[in-house]
Structure 1
Amino acid sequence: MHKQSNISGHAAPLRIANFDTDQVMPKQFLRGIDKSGLTEGLFYDLRFDENGKAKPDFFLNQAAYASTDVLIAGPNYGCGSSREHAVWGMQQFGFKAVIASSFAEIFYSNAMGNGLLLVVLPEDEVQALMKEADDNSAPISIDIDIKNLTVHTQKHEFKFTMSARHHRMFLEGLDVIGLTLKYQSQINAFSQQHWKAQPWVKDIARVTTDRLNSLR
């Protein structure tokens, strides 16, 4: 994770509701054991035909949309299975944010935890951004002010919200583990109080292992 207080980029619409994670990253691209090499799989069935040839009518295959790094999506984006590869693939392809009126809960958690910004706006505002992009016939310039929670384009300005936890994670460049470690002193204090009240549970796994080893 790196600190993000602002995302300036270019946005284009994907007008498909309930776009699930198998469409974002099909199952045949989930065979790797790390996060690498997922760019090819992103939106594969939309980008390529059955012979693996790029479909010229899909917007991301067109030169005019090469700068797209913000997706304006239909409602319930990221539904389906919980595969985190869908998020990693979007990031590897170059996407910095997705704007939609709703997201599947697990996809939302995966994305925000990995630094892919998801912006929730009312559906009429999402449609307004899509129309602006359609009228432009190319990606529209967009500025997402994460610190002040606003979305700006040439024609529109919208406010959005996010949890205080996710807001802090983006502004300070923290993943879930990093955020947890911010509370290290409180965690240590709790542990000491817990062990003082119940000393028999301290290092119980090590104590049990030592006892078992002594019986061999």
Structure 2
Amino acid sequence: MIEQNAFVLHSRPYRENQQLVDLLTEQDGKVTALVYVGQSKRSIKKGLIQPFLPLRLTLKGQGKFKQITQVDSIGKSFSLIKHSLFSSFYINELLIRLLTEQMTCQQLFSQYQETLTALAKGEEIAPQLRLFELALLEELGLSFDFTPVFEHDVSHFHYIAEQGFVPVYSAFPKNKAQCFNTAHLQAISQRESLYKNSTIEGVSYTFKLLMRQVINQLLGNQPLNSRKLFNKKN
């Protein structure tokens, strides 16, 4: 049996009085586990199996699904509203879709907590999402090599999976929508731009487009349900 800190990413009914729960755990990374919640609507376990609530739980078993045998809250649920809440659902869905089961990712777990903390405080959303996305890519063994954007005297680059940043030499590229401004990429390479407003207009938007392209490729271009929340009127 393993006792560790964890967060619920998603839960759904499984069998009678049971729920199947996707967890992000401190020691084992993403884990899918079963929990018996009982018949009562006031079940303590049912009340604890909620996203964005810091938990301490015990996992048992070696089969297809581990069992949650003990679970307690170790803090208050993060207070998230509107776009901060939608953003938190977004990062949960990314973890469910992209992390493999039981892959140790303690740094990502810490970044997850830091992101929820920042979003709950009402800090600017875009930099927090970019930081989390970068941490997730690094956990997956992916990282950006920005060396070419400093070595080639061109105004734009493409980003191609498994090749990285490729200079665009044509003044009128056919797929200009997928070109990234060189000055923007240079600013993105400096992590300070994530913590303060960039003096170069458009950097934040370019960063968003770059991360979206990379993440969409990892998802096999299958859309994320959480992105639809941002399109709804509040």
TM-score (normalised: structure 2): 0.23
Higher relative contact order (CA 8 A, sep 6+): 1
Which protein is richer in strand relative to its size?
Answer: 2
Structure with bigger gyration radius: 1
